[in-house]
């Protein structure tokens, strides 16, 4: 589900999963890469549910310098968190 490369967090949204299942998977995978995120300016690509977005936003706000998310309608990254 999560793949971090060059400060870009690519998210693949698995089909057929409940919100609870997605959040459990996200928490497990996030724990594995959390240390790599500290102090970085992270960009997010991919589809996420609203619950995943809120969960990730909270977690990333604690560890990252900034977080931007790609908006395909604007064809650009939108800065959503900055410290």
Q: How far is CA 14 from the centre of its chain?
A: 14
Tens digit of each residue's pLDDT (9 = 90 or more) over 4-57: 999 999 999 999 999 999 999 999 999 999 999 999 999 999 999 999 999 999
Tally of structural domains, the chain: 1
Q: Within 10 A of 1 (CB to CB), how many other CB atoms are there?
A: 17
**Domain residues for 33?**
2-82
Tell me what pLDDT residue 83 has.
Answer: 86
Tell me what pLDDT residue 2 has.
Answer: 97
Alpha carbon distance 20, 34 (integer Å): 20
Taking the whole predicted model, whether its pTM rises above 0.85 is answered as yes
């Amino acid at each position: 589900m999560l793949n971090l490369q060059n400060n870009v967090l690519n998210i693949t949204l698995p089909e057929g999963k409940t919100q609870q299942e997605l959040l459990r998977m996200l928490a497990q995978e996030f724990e594995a890469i959390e240390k790599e995120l500290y102090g970085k300016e992270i960009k997010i690509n991919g589809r996420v549910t609203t619950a995943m977005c809120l969960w990730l936003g909270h977690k990333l706000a604690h560890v990252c310098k900034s977080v931007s998310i790609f908006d395909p309608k604007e064809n650009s990254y939108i800065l959503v968190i900055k410290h």
